[in-house]
């Protein structure tokens, strides 16, 4: 990298510029409380004891100072003033509303691109982008490559080729709207209706607001004659809601072929936002993702007339197997290596209304196994600390591998014995586990029952149990769901990277600026940045080899839920999201140590 062309984006004593030696010495002074952070590298993600998060012995979650552009300072100030202009606000509404009006639904049973006509609405969406953002599509510095027909790969060429590029990602598709729910919508799901405060419709929350928000930032920067030093790649998949294989899956391969492994300074995609926790505002960019393994249980038994039934039909056997699953859930454990634990430590340091007893318990858990066990109980048990914030089930689910029986089918006639029955079980794999561990556990769980029912048992293509043909009552098969291959847990993004420091500083400056300029507030506007982990998977699953710094973060605080009736985004939240993307682009362009 060129270390001399421009100074690092300044942030008034930005903490992520501190050296590791200084961090070590300061943390050492903290004594026994921080002992585990340095004697056990895996503790707190192995990077929680970093420039970004340990500042002094009584502050285990030190915060990056808000990071403002300096080289592009004049332009940044001009852009901030523009957010208050009615013309700009109207344009942002128009751009997002227009995108919502183009349905780009993703169904689970869609065939390959070129064969299934339901993909073709993506082309209409592409036409809309060309029409809505003329500067992006006429700039000599921006090129567009379409991958697998509908994947969009825009490259905004920077002037300094020694700087590693960044990727800003989003997806074009949305989950379908159930036709039976349309009458329940306050405004039609594909109307893009704006009521003066909210923009309504499918995709306003997930994820057209992200895609259009990025393009709004870029179009505005172009209109102000900004040209980047650092190359920016915009990667927009088209089937994220179906697993992303044909969209981001192909985009990832193309990027790897062109740029190679670990070639990007960072990648940012949809994910966490910010919300109030215990009286304080916290932003929680995702630095990890759980894996996923979806299995199908198939039972095959002889048919016949239901008037002469066997002791157990295929449906009865399947039911017994499913009961065995639900009676034996995976263990969940609060681990010091988890991003969620690091998040708790941040809560204990910065949350204004967290009960002192809980804060002390979190701090004791850094070095005490008993305190860690007590904290886990408080988080996971209903009626205790975890439930007091409505989060007990979420904390428990995110702290280990889970299982959910989502589909069951069997039988065709009331007086005919069911020859076939099947069920689908979805696992979300804890970050300290693997798909092979889940496969082994599922196989071991079912083996005793397969033997009890005298079933020929095959698991993941391997014959496990084979009674003699005379005694076999049928066949049991355990295998991957054909459309869902196993996904391992994602690599954990290090918290001690300069890229994370830049992101955290940008989050904090955006939060403060949006409130100070747009609401004339004289109060201190502060958000604390804590590591997070989204509950689902994003398109970043296909980008792991491209960068060690992958963030799932969208800087939003909408009260709307995605994937349901009445999806919307507040204009105020949307404007802040756009402000974040603009500031991130400018800060990244100035940085020289990412």
Active site residues: 173, 240
Task: Answer for the pair 583, 168: CB distance below 8 angstroms, yes or no.
Answer: no
Phi, psi of 71 (to 5 degrees): -60, -40
- 317: tokens are 């056997």
Q: 268: cis peptide before it, omega within 30°?
A: no
How would DSSP label each residue in 211-231? HHHHHHHHHHHHHTT---SS-
DSSP three-state, residue 153: strand
Query: Which residue has tokens 């198939």?
Result: 298
Report the candidate in 335, 336, 219 with the shortest Cα–Cα distance to residue 582.
219
**Pairing mode, strands 151-156 and 232-237:** antiparallel
- 548: tokens are 């060690």
Task: Answer for the pair 164, 264: CB distance below 8 angstroms, yes or no.
Answer: yes
The reply to whether 526 sits in an annotated binding site is no
- 334: tokens are 């609060």
CA distance 108 to 493: 30
CA distance 583 to 130: 24
Sign (positive or negative) of CA dihedral 40, 44, 46, 50 = negative
Helix-, strand-, coil-residue percentages of the chain, each rounded to 5: 40, 20, 40
**For residues 22-44, b (16+ Cβ closer than 10 Å) or e, as one string?**
ebeebbeebeeebebbeeeeebb
Query: Which residue has tokens 């050492």?
Result: 28
Angle, helices 571-590 vs 208-223, to 10°: value is 60
The reply to whether 109 sits in an annotated binding site is no
The reply to whether 36 sits in an annotated binding site is no
Alpha helices in 417-565 (DSSP H): 435-452, 498-519
CA distance 238 to 513: 33
* 166-171 β-sheet, strand order: 142-147, 151-156, 232-237, 166-171, 267-272, 550-553
Residue 343 CB: number of other CB atoms within 10 A? 20
The reply to whether 171 sits in an annotated binding site is yes
The reply to whether 563 sits in an annotated binding site is yes
Partnered with residue 156 across adjacent β-strands are 142, 232
Report the candidate in 571, 533, 518 with the shortest Cα–Cα distance to residue 196.
571
Bind-site residues: 171, 206, 241, 269, 563
Bind-site residues for Zn(2+): 171, 206, 241, 269, 563
């Amino acid at each position: 990298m060129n270390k001399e062309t421009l100074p690092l984006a300044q942030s008034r004593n930005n903490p992520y510029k501190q050296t590791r030696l200084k961090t070590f010495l300061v943390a050492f002074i903290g004594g026994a409380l921080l002992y585990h952070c340095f004697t056990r590298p895996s503790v707190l993600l192995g990077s929680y004891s970093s420039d970004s998060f340990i500042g002094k012995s009584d502050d285990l979650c030190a915060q990056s100072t808000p990071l403002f552009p300096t080289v592009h300072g004049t332009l940044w100030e001009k852009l901030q003033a523009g957010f208050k202009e009615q013309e700009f606000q109207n344009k942002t509404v128009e751009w997002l509303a227009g995108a919502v009006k183009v349905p780009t639904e993703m169904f689970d049973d869609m065939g390959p691109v070129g064969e299934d006509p339901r993909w073709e609405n993506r082309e209409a969406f592409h036409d809309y982008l060309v029409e809505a953002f003329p500067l992006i599509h006429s700039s000599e510095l921006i090129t567009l490559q379409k991958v697998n027909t509908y994947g969009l790969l825009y490259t905004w060429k920077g002037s300094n080729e020694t700087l590693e590029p960044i990727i800003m990602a989003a997806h074009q598709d949305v989950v379908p709207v159930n036709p039976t729910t349309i009458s329940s919508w306050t405004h039609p799901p594909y109307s893009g209706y704006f009521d003066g405060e909210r923009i309504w419709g499918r995709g306003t929350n997930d994820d057209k607001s992200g895609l259009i928000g990025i393009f709004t930032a870029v179009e505005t920067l172009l209109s102000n004659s900004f040209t980047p030093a650092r190359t920016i790649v915009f990667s927009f998949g088209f089937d994220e809601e179906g697993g992303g294989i044909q969209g981001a899956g192909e985009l990832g391969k193309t990027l790897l072929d062109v740029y190679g492994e670990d070639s990007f300074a960072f990648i940012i995609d949809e994910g966490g936002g910010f919300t109030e926790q215990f009286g304080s505002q916290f932003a929680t960019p995702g630095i990890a993702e759980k894996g996923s393994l979806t299995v199908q249980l198939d039972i095959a038994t002889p048919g016949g007339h239901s008037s002469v039934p066997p002791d157990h039909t295929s449906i009865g056997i399947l039911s017994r197997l499913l009961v065995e699953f639900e009676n034996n859930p995976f263990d969940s454990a609060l681990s010091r290596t988890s991003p969620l634990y690091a998040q708790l430590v941040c809560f204990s340091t910065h949350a204004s209304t967290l009960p002192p007893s809980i804060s002390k318990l979190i701090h004791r858990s850094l070095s005490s196994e008993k305190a860690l066990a007590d904290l886990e109980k408080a988080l996971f048990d209903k009626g205790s600390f975890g439930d007091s914030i409505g989060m007990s089930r979420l904390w428990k689910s995110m702290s280990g591998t889970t299982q959910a029986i989502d589909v069951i089918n069997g039988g065709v006639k009331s007086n005919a014995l069911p020859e076939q029955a099947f069920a689908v079980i979805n696992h979300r794999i804890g970050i300290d586990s693997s798909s092979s561990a889940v496969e082994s556990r599922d196989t071991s769980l079912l083996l005793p029952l397969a033997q009890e029912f005298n079933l020929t048992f095959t698991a993941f293509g391997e014959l496990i149990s084979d009674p003699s043909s005379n005694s076999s009552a049928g066949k049991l098969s355990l295998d991957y769901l054909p459309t869902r291959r196993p996904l391992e847990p994602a690599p954990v993004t290090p918290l001690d990277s300069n890229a994370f420091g830049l992101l955290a500083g940008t989050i904090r400056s955006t939060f403060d600026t949006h409130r100070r300029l747009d609401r004339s507030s004289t109060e201190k506007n502060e958000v604390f940045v804590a590591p997070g982990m989204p509950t689902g998977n994003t398109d970043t699953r296909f980008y792991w080899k491209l960068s060690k710094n992958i963030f799932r973060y969208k800087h939003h605080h909408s009260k709307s839920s995605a994937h349901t009736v009445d999806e919307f985004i507040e204009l105020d939240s949307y404007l802040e999201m756009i402000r974040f993307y603009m500031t991130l682009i400018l800060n990244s362009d100035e940085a020289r140590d990412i």
